Structure 1
Amino acid sequence: MRVISKYGLVLGIITLFLVVFSSCGSRKNMVYFQPDSTQINTVYEQYVPKIQKNDILTVVVTAADPKVTAPFNPLSTMAAGSLTQQTDMALRPTYTVDEKGDITLPMLGKVYLEGLTRLEAIEKVRIELSHYIKDPGVNMNFNNFRVSVLGEVARPGSFIMPTERVTVLEALGMAGDLTIRGVRENVTLIREVDGKKSMHRLDLTKQETLNSPYYYLAQNDVIYVEPNKSQINNSKLGANTNIIISIAGLIITVISVLTR
């Protein structure tokens, strides 16, 4: 009976050891945007992404007479007729913003777009086209608006966004949301502008994050969710599991010998 008692004592000690390394989360660090006195005044237009070098843009020219747009849409004309909408989208002409900030459009040549919003770029191209086409229309979209989500989320990876109006919450949603082990108070956003990277911290438990200039994402943003202390401790524990089991076994053996 004494051996069993000592054995139970050792198990209790090991259990306590594991509990110490596994801290419990609280509502305070789990719930998003907890109520406070913050006034929500985010205006998307203040933070709309600007066109950058190496962006890939889809540009389609429209007009009342489709025939006059053919020289400006060399690939999209191939997609007319019986092709599906998905195939048509794949064949629409794309243009890469070069190192000087220009795209080269058929007939128009180089057009400088770096630093403009998508709507500003559309208007600039439309004005250039008006010299050739009466009342032209321009459909322009980012073709490589990519956001990466890493760390403690359900499905980390890179995602192509259908629009440039993307929030940090939408990106996290595409990644399956944070796991219970993710730190919501210190989400890191990495952004590159003009070749320079910067890091910004977002506290998703506070409403003030909705007013952050980094609440809306830019192309090529990276979101990183760090693991909480419990997950870090568990990884340390996992790496030393064999050692812990060996020590526990040795202690049990010693107790058994001493109590015979």
Structure 2
Amino acid sequence: MQSILKYGLSIGLFCALILTLFSSCGSRKNMVYLQNDSTQINTLYDQHVPKIQVNDILTIAVTAADPKVTVPFNPASSMSNNNMTQSVDMALRPTYTVDSNGDISLPILGKVHVLGLTRLEAIEKIRAQLSLYIKDPGINMNFNNFRISVLGEVARPGSFIMPTERVTILEALSMAGDLTIRGVRENVMVIREVDGQKTMHRMDLTKQNALNSPYYYLAQNDVIYVEPNKAQINNSKLGANTNIIISISSLVITVISILTR
């Protein structure tokens, strides 16, 4: 009977050892963002303003002191009224897709080349052309498809439409519910398309130097990928075997309990 008991305990200890081997303890240096060091922060948003790309969708509204003169330039604006909410009014504003040549087709003005321009640069270019028709025109322009995707070890992976083009990787991760405890903060990947070519850049978010990365400020259609840590990978390898080990342990304990009554 004692040999059976020892055998059962040995199996239990073996199972516990196996489960322990596939787990790991995290440390502060692996978990805390932007840890203090001697890095000098010198990143300026002006150096990394997103540029307009092919297939971008731009919402453009023309304003002026006399709203009547803007009607030909705002095809949907005649549907607006003072009772509409801001979100409804924005939805009614005309949108323009940047074609393969980098142009948008505006009423009256025709094709305007905006590829490679920042939003503010495009506004100034359109305003200059509108000045031929309207005195002191105003331009409201926004990206209608500034989408960021976050994948991997985050609480809520998915794609997010940003309300502004000024967005950082930390803000995007916060929208995805932050990294899980299993996410590797030292090796976060940003995938970006530049002139039709995919580029990949890895960032160590535990270091303050991440603030100096040219990928700290995101561009439209960026994809952020957070890889799992070793413990999570090992746990996935263990997979269904965990249930088998637990079942065997429970069976052994049950048998021992019956035999030792």
Q: TM-score band, normalised by the shorter chain?
A: over 0.9
Q: Counterparts in 2 of 1:107-256, with a 5 A limit?
A: 107-244=108-245
Q: In terms of mean alpha carbon deviation, does 163-172 or 77-86 score higher? A: 77-86
Report the counterpart of residue 29 of structure 1 in structure 2. 30
SS state of the match for residue 121, structure 1?
Answer: helix
SS state of the match for residue 60, structure 1?
Answer: strand
Report the counterpart of residue 88 of structure 2 in structure 1. 87
List per-residue Cα deviations over 1:162-190 (Å, max 9, x = no partner).
00000000000000000000000000100
Q: What is the CA-CA distance between 1:245 and the residue it aligns to?
A: 5.2
Q: What is the CA-CA distance between 1:86 and the residue it aligns to?
A: 1.8
Shift in alpha-carbon separation, 1:250–1:87, aligned structure 2, 3 A: closer
Q: What is the CA-CA distance between 1:5 and the residue it aligns to?
A: 3.0
Aligned residue type for 2:32: V
* Alignment coverage as a number of residue pairs: 257
Q: Distance in 2 between matches of 1:241 and 1:32?
A: 33
Answer yes or no: is the 8 Å Cα contact 1:33–1:205 preserved in 2.
yes
Q: What is the CA-CA distance between 1:41 and the residue it aligns to?
A: 1.0
Q: What is the CA-CA distance between 1:247 and the residue it aligns to?
A: 6.9
Q: What is the CA-CA distance between 1:80 and the residue it aligns to?
A: 2.4
Q: Counterparts in 2 of 1:89-104, with a 5 A limit?
A: 89-104=90-105
Q: What is the CA-CA distance between 1:16 and the residue it aligns to?
A: 1.2
* Consecutive unaligned residues in structure 1, runs of 5 or more: 256-260
Aligned residue type for 2:242: T
Does residue 1:78 correspond to 2:84, yes or no? no
List per-residue Cα deviations over 1:42-89 (Å, max 9, x = no partner).
100000000000000000001111111010011022112322222111
Does residue 1:69 correspond to 2:70, yes or no? yes
SS state of the match for residue 39, structure 2?
Answer: coil
Question: In angstroms, what is the RMSD of aligned CA positions?
Answer: 2.1
Q: What is the CA-CA distance between 1:198 and the residue it aligns to?
A: 0.8
Q: Distance in 2 between matches of 1:10 and 1:47?
A: 59
Aligned residue type for 1:126: R
What's the TM-score, normalizing by structure 2? 0.93
Answer yes or no: is the 8 Å Cα contact 1:152–1:227 preserved in 2.
yes
Matched-pair identity in %: 76
Q: Distance in 1 between matches of 2:80 and 2:158?
A: 31
What's the TM-score, normalizing by structure 1? 0.93
Aligned residue type for 2:101: K
Report the counterpart of residue 258 of structure 1 in structure 2. none
Q: Distance in 2 between matches of 1:144 and 1:15?
A: 51
SS state of the match for residue 206, structure 2?
Answer: coil
Q: Distance in 2 between matches of 1:209 and 1:54?
A: 30
Q: Distance in 1 between matches of 2:51 and 2:104?
A: 14
Q: Distance in 2 between matches of 1:206 and 1:236?
A: 30
Q: Distance in 1 between matches of 2:133 and 2:118?
A: 24
Answer yes or no: is the 8 Å Cα contact 1:10–1:252 preserved in 2.
no
Q: Distance in 1 between matches of 2:100 and 2:81?
A: 33
Aligned residue type for 2:178: D
SS state of the match for residue 59, structure 1?
Answer: strand
Q: What is the CA-CA distance between 1:240 and the residue it aligns to?
A: 2.5
* Consecutive unaligned residues in structure 2, runs of 5 or more: 257-261
Aligned residue type for 1:203: D
Q: Distance in 1 between matches of 2:252 and 2:62?
A: 78
